[in-house]
Structure 1
C-alpha cells in the first residue's frame, strides 16, 4: 500500500497536470534556500569571525592560511545547517501548496470520488506555522544526537519520519475530515503513517532530489489516505 502510493506520487511529480505546482514549489524552495544561505553566511561574517579575531588579537603571519581554513570550515557548517533546515522549509512550503497538489491528484487518479475541501487560508497558515515550529524543534534534537555515534543517522530518519509522516498525513486527511477526526484517524493507523514518513525522510536525504520533497510527500499522503480510507470506511472518532 505504501509503495504503491509512493509509485503513484512519483508519477504525479512529472504529470502535465502537476507541472504548474511543480515549478512553483521547486522555485520557491530554491529561493528560500538561497536566501537562507546568504543570511547564514552574513550572520557568520558579522558575529563569528570578529569574535575569533578579538579572542586571538596577536595572530602570526600565517593568518591568511587560518582564514582559508576558517572559511572552509564555515562553508561546511553552513552546508550542514542548510541540510538540517530543508525539513522545516519543506513543512512551510507544503502548507502553501498541499491543497494544489491534492486537488491535482484527486482529479487525475480519483475522478469518481467526491473532491476534498481545502482548509481556510487562516487555518492553513496557522497549521503551517505550528508544523514549522515542531519540525525545527525536532531537528534541533536530531542535531544534538548527531554527535552520539551509532544513533546519529537513525535519529535523523526517526525524527523526520515521525514528524513529516504525521503532519503530511493530517494535511491530506483534513481535506475530508475535521482536524480532530484527522488526528484520530492518523493515530489509529500510526504504524502505517510512520512507515510512509520514513519513506519521505529517505527522499529528503537525497541531495537535489529533496527539493521536490513537498510535492512527493503531499502526493504520497493523498494516495495513502485514500487507500486507508477504503480499508477503514466506517472510522469514527
Structure 2
C-alpha cells in the first residue's frame, strides 16, 4: 500500500500529468470561488435584508440585539468563506476527479502496467454521477458532524474518518469500473472494505494538507488504480522487469 502511494505521488508530478494537474487545479479553484461567493452572498443577506425583516417582525426593541447579531454574521461571512472552502475540499475534489478519472488512469496503466489489458473509459454520465453522489454524501456527513466540532475536536475526527471512507470508496470504484461492471466493482470494494478504508486514510491525509490538496483527484485516482491492480493480482514490478528484458 505504501509502495502504491509512493508510485502515485511520484507520477502526479511527471510531465504527462502536469496538464491534467493544472486543469484539475483550475476546476477546483472555480468550484471554491462559486462556493465562496454563494456563502458570502448568503451571509450578507442575513446581515442586511434578513436583519431588517427580523426587526420589522420583532419590533423596534430588537434593534440593538439584531445590530450585534448582524456584526457577528458579517465577521462569520469572511471566516465562513475560508473555513467552508477548506471543509468542503473533499467534496470539491470528488467532483473534479470524476472529470479526469480516465486520463489519470490511462497514464498510470501505460507506465506501470504496459503488458496488461488497458481499462475501458467510463461514460461521462456514470463518472459524474458517482462524483456528485460522493460530494453530496460528503456534505451531508459533514453537516451531521459539524455540531461535534466543539466537543473536544470530536467533529474533526469524524470528518477525517468520513473522508477516508467516502474518498476511498469513490476512487476505488472508479478505478475498478474501468475493468468490470459497476455492480462487480462495488462488490469488490465491499469484499476488500478494510484494505480500501486503510488506503482511504492516506487519501484523507493528503486532502487535509492545504494547497497540496488541489492535487487530490490525481493522487487519489492514481493510488487506487495501483490498489485495484494489486487486489486483482497484478504485480507491477514483475511486469516492468518482464517488459524490460530485450527480445533475443
TM tier relative to shorter chain: 0.7 to 0.9
Q: Which runs of 5+ in 2 are unaligned?
A: 236-248
Matches within 5 A, 1:80-159: 80-159=83-162
Deviation string, structure 1 residues 41-75 (Cα, Å, up to 9, x no partner):
11211234433455566449xx7x99776533321
Q: Structure 2 CA distance, aligned partners of 1:173 and 1:36?
A: 31
Task: Report what 1:41 is aligned to.
Answer: 40
Task: Report what 2:246 is aligned to.
Answer: none
Task: Report what 2:77 is aligned to.
Answer: 74
Q: Structure 2 CA distance, aligned partners of 1:96 and 1:74?
A: 30
Task: Report what 1:215 is aligned to.
Answer: 218
Task: Report what 2:245 is aligned to.
Answer: none
Task: Report what 2:167 is aligned to.
Answer: 164
Q: Is the 8 A contact 1:142 1:159 kept in 2?
A: no
- CA spacing shift, 1:191–1:43, aligned 2, 3 Å: same
Deviation string, structure 1 residues 118-142 (Cα, Å, up to 9, x no partner):
1122222322222222222222223
Q: Is the 8 A contact 1:203 1:209 kept in 2?
A: yes
Using structure 1 for the length normalisation, give the TM-score: 0.87
- Give the C-alpha shift of residue 161 in structure 1: 0.5
Q: Is the 8 A contact 2:44 2:74 kept in 1?
A: no
Q: Which runs of 5+ in 1 are unaligned?
A: 233-237
Give me the CA root mean square deviation: 2.3
Q: Structure 2 CA distance, aligned partners of 1:196 and 1:72?
A: 38
Task: Identify which of structures 1 and 2 has the higher relative contact order when contacts are C-alpha pairs closer than 8 Å and 6+ apart.
Answer: 1
Q: Is the 8 A contact 2:47 2:71 kept in 1?
A: no
Q: Is the 8 A contact 2:39 2:80 kept in 1?
A: no
Say whether residues 1:32 and 2:35 are aligned partners.
no
Aligned residue pairs total 228
- CA spacing shift, 1:150–1:67, aligned 2, 3 Å: closer
- Which structure has the larger Rg? 2
Using structure 2 for the length normalisation, give the TM-score: 0.83
Task: Report what 1:224 is aligned to.
Answer: 227
SS at the partner of 2:115? coil
Q: Is the 8 A contact 1:29 1:89 kept in 2?
A: yes
Deviation string, structure 1 residues 197-226 (Cα, Å, up to 9, x no partner):
111111111111111111111111111111
Task: Report what 1:6 is aligned to.
Answer: 5
